[in-house]
Structure 1
Amino acid sequence: MTPGAADLRARAESASAHLPGLILSAERLAAVVAPGAHGLRRAGPGEDFWQYRPASQGDSARSIDWRRSARSDAQFVRDREAQTAQAVGLWVSAGQGMGYAGAPDRPAKGARAQLLALALGMVLLRGGEKVGLLGQPPRAGRAQAERLAQGLLAAQAGAGDGDAPEAQALRPHQRLVILSDFLTDPDWVAVLLARAASMGVTGVLMQVLDPDEENFPYAGAVDFRSVSGALRHDSRDAAGLRQAYLDRLAARRDWLRDRAQGAGWHFGHHATDHAPAVALGWLHRVLGG
């Protein structure tokens, strides 16, 4: 067996060992969110009210809303909002920085991001939507959840602390969910969102951080190192860096939020010591908004 094949087999076996646990955890998390088809904001077959419009030639008497029409001299039709299955792409950063956990009782950022992505995929699949990892064909059905889990666990960690999704993998009018810590060079975000806007792609940026990265609870002499070892800073007064760090984190979030909103996307953040159900509910809500 060649070294490359041996490495691939080892990674496959490792992913398989964690597969049942990830699926079970995601199923439990997905159970707290009610699935449903997403509206298209146009008239069509569906269950939800969208708007009243003046009746026109071709509307049958059965389509007239007589209660609304009684309040004016005109007749009105009650339109419902079209609903249909949508293709949703998921991408979770495999940068080495996502392997960070500030305490043994907290999950690594990458593990939490994988859990959120898979649970969201399960909720969307229950609602009849097509879901896939970015760059792979989106599919519907129960079996797709296991394919998503396998793909998430089989992803190979990148060489650096951060990575970026391939902008060429975008497909017109899909919805996309990006989960990352967004702590490394964010220039790729602007490139991705510009291409997404040109293709009618909308979605969500979700920043996942460890609480130590949120709060910077360090003091005294601290040797800071990135997970990949590419970055290092030896400080004799870590507490003196706290405010500057928090200011830069806030600026990074403002930048991400502004870029997301400018492209018609949403931006949110989640700390790994918070309940994942809250983040999942938010993701599902804004993805359908």
Structure 2
Amino acid sequence: MTGALALRAAAEQQASTLPPLLAAAEQLASTVILGDHGRRRAGTGDTFWQYRPAQSTDHARSIDWRRSARSDVSFVQDKEWQIAQSVTLWVDRGASMRFASTDKLPEKATVARTLALACAILLIRGGERVGLTGNDLPARRGTAQITQMANLLARDDAADYALPDARGMAPHSRAVFISDFMGDMTGVQDALTRAADNGVRGALVQILDPQEEAFPFDGRTIFESMTGTLRHETLKAGDLRNRYLDRLAARKDHLTQLARTTGWQFSTHHTGAPATQALLWLYQSLAQPA
């Protein structure tokens, strides 16, 4: 096969995954009922939200005299809070994310990509700018951005574990990192520190297969990474269970502390659970004030 034909075949194979991925993301986004103003609250903006009784801290020029004339109470207008910053997403495309313990469960990568795209769909519907970290896809508005995002997210990395990319995040914006966070934590810490130094706040979503939480192994077992570069054989896998679970708990504690220190939020989602709750948590986390 010539180089051109090989490239076309690879492109067609990659593109064939986009319709199911986009359809799954659209379906997931539709399960979260937010209305047209799912994130709104009082704040700086130009759009009227509601009247409320004036308080002693309100300036006289803030009083709506026309509305107040119809009552014995003075009223002011609350404006709808408008998010000025963009939202950038990093989704782990490392080989470890292609793991699924059974054919009845989706791969971690599928869940991560669907969750990221569904969140992007909701944000763009709300008028937000959304993009990917790095320099491949700067944050923009519009539905065409979703297709470009899906195309980039469908690409897999060759390495077992990918490192978060903190490039391309505008100062004082929002960001999302979605990964199993099973690799080197130094890269995660560096990315979060760099983000925090620029005033970026966001959310960490850890995607795990139920088997990775339970460690249901006993007897002779061969553990092998998705690329085959890492391999460990043991005759007593059960003896490793407590050590593994302790290390997993320590990893989650580390992520929790990193998030707290840098002003981010952290949550774990399992591939066997409905993604609706994870999407709602993620969407609401991005609405938190800086």
TM-score relative to the length of structure 2: 0.87
How far 1:45 sits from its partner (Å)?
A: 3.4
Question: Alpha-carbon deviations, 1:88-147, whole Å to 9, x = none?
Answer: 111111111111111011111111111111111111111111111223221212222222
Which residue of structure 1 aligns with residue 57 of structure 2? 54
Cα distance between partner residues in 2 of 1:48 and 1:187: 46
**Aligned partner letter, 2:142:** G
> More displaced, 240-249 or 61-70?
61-70
How far 1:152 sits from its partner (Å)?
A: 1.2
Q: Is 1:285 the counterpart of 2:288 in the alignment?
A: no
Question: Alpha-carbon deviations, 1:4-60, whole Å to 9, x = none?
Answer: x66654432122111111111111111011344645874443426899552325334
Q: Is 1:149 the counterpart of 2:150 in the alignment?
A: yes
| 8 Å Cα contact 1:221-1:236 kept in structure 2 | yes
How far 1:271 sits from its partner (Å)?
A: 0.8
Which residue of structure 2 aligns with residue 181 of structure 1? 180
Q: Would you say how many aligned residue pairs link Structure 1 and Structure 2?
A: 282
Matches for 1:83-162 after TM superposition, within 5 Å: 83-84=82-83, 86-135=85-134, 136-153=137-154, 155=155, 157-162=156-161
Q: Is 1:264 the counterpart of 2:263 in the alignment?
A: yes
C-alpha spacing 1:79/1:69, structure 2 compared with 1 (3 Å): farther
Which residue of structure 2 aligns with residue 166 of structure 1? 165
| 8 Å Cα contact 2:39-2:284 kept in structure 1 | no
Which residue of structure 2 aligns with residue 23 of structure 1? 22
**Aligned partner letter, 2:82:** Q
SS in 2 for 1:275: coil
Cα distance between partner residues in 2 of 1:149 and 1:125: 14
How far 1:63 sits from its partner (Å)?
A: 8.1
Cα distance between partner residues in 2 of 1:200 and 1:45: 24
**Aligned partner letter, 2:65:** R
| 8 Å Cα contact 2:138-2:168 kept in structure 1 | no
Which residue of structure 2 aligns with residue 205 of structure 1? 204
| 8 Å Cα contact 2:64-2:77 kept in structure 1 | no
**Aligned partner letter, 1:28:** Q
C-alpha spacing 1:267/1:31, structure 2 compared with 1 (3 Å): same
| 8 Å Cα contact 2:129-2:139 kept in structure 1 | yes
| 8 Å Cα contact 1:160-1:230 kept in structure 2 | no
SS in 1 for 2:88: strand
Matches for 1:68-87 after TM superposition, within 5 Å: 77=76, 79-84=78-83, 86-87=85-86
**Aligned partner letter, 1:273:** G
How far 1:148 sits from its partner (Å)?
A: 1.6
Q: Which runs of 5+ in 2 are unaligned?
A: none
C-alpha spacing 1:214/1:83, structure 2 compared with 1 (3 Å): same
After superposition, the CA RMSD in angstroms is 2.7
Cα distance between partner residues in 2 of 1:204 and 1:196: 12
More strand as a share of residues: 1
Q: Which runs of 5+ in 1 are unaligned?
A: none
SS in 2 for 1:58: helix
Cα distance between partner residues in 1 of 2:151 and 2:30: 20
Question: Alpha-carbon deviations, 1:192-240, whole Å to 9, x = none?
Answer: 1111111111111111011111110111110111112222111111111
C-alpha spacing 1:11/1:93, structure 2 compared with 1 (3 Å): farther
Cα distance between partner residues in 1 of 2:63 and 2:6: 66
SS in 1 for 2:17: helix
C-alpha spacing 1:125/1:48, structure 2 compared with 1 (3 Å): farther
How far 1:186 sits from its partner (Å)?
A: 0.9
Cα distance between partner residues in 1 of 2:150 and 2:253: 32
**Aligned partner letter, 1:11:** A
Which residue of structure 2 aligns with residue 273 of structure 1? 272
